[in-house]
Amino acid sequence: MELWHRFVTLPLVVQVIAWACTGGLLLLAWLKSEAIAASIKAAKEFVGNRAAAWAAGKVQPHLASASQGAQNERIHRGYFINYKYVSHVRDKWSFEIEEDDGGVRSVSIEETGLLVAIRRGTYVEIRTMLPQPGYMSEIVKDVKVFHNKTKAL
């Protein structure tokens, strides 16, 4: 009570200056708390986004490869002609099939043992995929052989 009594007995100009300073300090403290709260919120969002990006980087390649696999998959149907190794500018393996419309298609692939035992003229369905966009040779995923459907080539 004594402190309040001393304040009230001060001249009016000093009281106004004291109230203005107190108000200024309160405003400064409020602004500082808002700034601190905003910076803490931004830091939490940054860390949360960074952690989410890190986790997505760990999980996303598996999801991306599954969804990309459907985009990059190709199915080659026709009568099997041959599976061969060609060495020109760069080494490559390829297989040739005669498609249903009569055209012959040669497909550059990575080396595989799935095509070795297929006889010439056997109807096949070869499912391949490109590992990355722009990749030159395909990878054979699986082969369906229809032994009841053959053709003399």
User: Do 10 and 40 share a domain, yes or no?
Assistant: yes
98 pLDDT more than 80:
yes
Residue predicted with more confidence, 91 or 127: 127
Average pLDDT over all residues of the chain: 82
pTM beyond cutoff 0.75: no
- Total domains in the chain come to 2
Q: Judge contact between 93 and 84, C-beta under 8 A.
A: yes
pLDDT at 151: 82
User: Do 87 and 61 share a domain, yes or no?
Assistant: no
User: Do 6 and 42 share a domain, yes or no?
Assistant: yes
14 pLDDT more than 90:
no
User: Do 79 and 132 share a domain, yes or no?
Assistant: yes
Q: Which domain holds residue 116?
A: 73-150
56 pLDDT more than 70:
no
Own/partner contacts of 95-104, CB < 8 Å, gap of 24 or more, are 95/126, 97/124, 97/126, 98/151, 98/153
Task: Give the H/E segment covering residue 47.
Answer: helix 12-72
Pairing verdict, β 139-150 and 104-109: unpaired
61 pLDDT more than 60:
no
d(CA 153, CA 150): 9
d(CA 63, CA 67): 6
User: Do 56 and 14 share a domain, yes or no?
Assistant: yes
- Number of residues that make up the chain: 153
